[in-house]
Homo-oligomer: A and B are copies of this chain.
Amino acid sequence: MSLLDRIRACQVYDPEAYCPFLVDGQSVGHVRAEAIVELADFGEVFVFDHGRILLRGHIQGFQARTEAMASVTEELRDRGLVFGWRDEAYPVGVSFHEPPLFDMERAAVPFFGVRGYGVHVNGWVDAPDGPKMWIGRRSLTKPTGPGLLDQMVAGGQPSGMALHENVIKECREEAGMAPDLAATAKPVGAISYLTTRDEGLRHDVLFNYDLQVPEDFTPVNEDGEVAEFMLWPMVKVLEELETRETFKFNSALVVIDFLVRHGFVDPETPGYTDIVAGLHG
């Protein structure tokens, strides 16, 4: 699988198969057309109008919307349509920097195709024999991508927390890292994608950080979400991406972004311009 194939694997979306989900006249997500029937029982929460799903207009304000959506997502969970419940509130709105219209359980984000946000931290070492990257293998108990390869540290962005606070929290939980080292993580951009997965529609923005760790630092997982850590030369990281199906779909894009920004992928590579643009699809 070429790097470009990995990008295209994150661009699987047929607009015809989805219905827009609107709140206060603004599109906040997309629900799979086949799943609409599951929402028909919630006539007190939704209106169905010309192939669109609207949150009823009398449900106004953050708190009321959050409660109405909670009643829906809990029922969808009980029906087995929303799985991997996490008890994590995710903000839902039209963009990251505007106040959210409501909070919703993270596990329901793909069902409603609303935007998800995360922080991903590339941990790397400037070793004498060349730069290396810390790669984590996800725990087999993770609801998405169990056993797959990931950044040293990565986590969803919950409601009500600043990005850099979340980075420090996740660095502690996932890699046992002290806050003063975690605070040196440098924001380096973001990637985005809109793609169909088993769990539903993923329409995410991942905020990326580079964190150069000392040679004598070894990540130690504290929350059980990482099965093991490996320190790989960049050539091995690139080879793994190009030859094996071992990286989580979105974590692969974060690694590709790192490889591009650090010059490990040459601009003479066929498809380079599509690779770079595709990281922001």
The one of B164, B190, B265 that contacts A273, using a Cβ cutoff of 8 Å: B190
The one of B207, B262, B265, B280 that contacts A267, using a Cβ cutoff of 8 Å: B207
The one of B97, B188, B271 that contacts A97, using a Cβ cutoff of 8 Å: B271
Least CB distance, A239 to chain B, in whole angstroms: 19
Q: What is the CA–CA distance of A266 and B207 in the complex, to the nearest angstrom? A: 11
Q: What is the CA–CA distance of A270 and B189 in the complex, to the nearest angstrom? A: 14
Question: Whose C-beta in chain B lies nearest to the C-beta of A270?
Answer: B97
Q: What is the CA–CA distance of A270 and B98 in the complex, to the nearest angstrom? A: 8
Report if A66 contacts B (CB, 8 A).
no
Contact A162 B280 (CB under 8 A): no
In this complex, how many residues of chain A approach chain B with their Cβ under 8 Å: the count is 32
Question: Whose C-beta in chain B lies nearest to the C-beta of A192?
Answer: B277
Report if A243 contacts B (CB, 8 A).
no
Contact A187 B267 (CB under 8 A): yes
Report if A232 contacts B (CB, 8 A).
no
Which B residues are in CB contact (< 8 Å) with A13?
Answer: none
Contact A280 B271 (CB under 8 A): no
Q: What is the CA–CA distance of A162 and B267 in the complex, to the nearest angstrom? A: 10
Report if A48 contacts B (CB, 8 A).
no
**8 A-B pairs in the complex with CB atoms less than 8 angstroms apart:** A97-B270, A163-B267, A186-B263, A187-B265, A190-B272, A190-B277, A276-B280, A279-B280
Residues of A whose CB lies within 8 Å of any CB of B are 95-97, 162-164, 186-190, 192, 205, 207, 260-263, 265-274, 276-277, 279-280
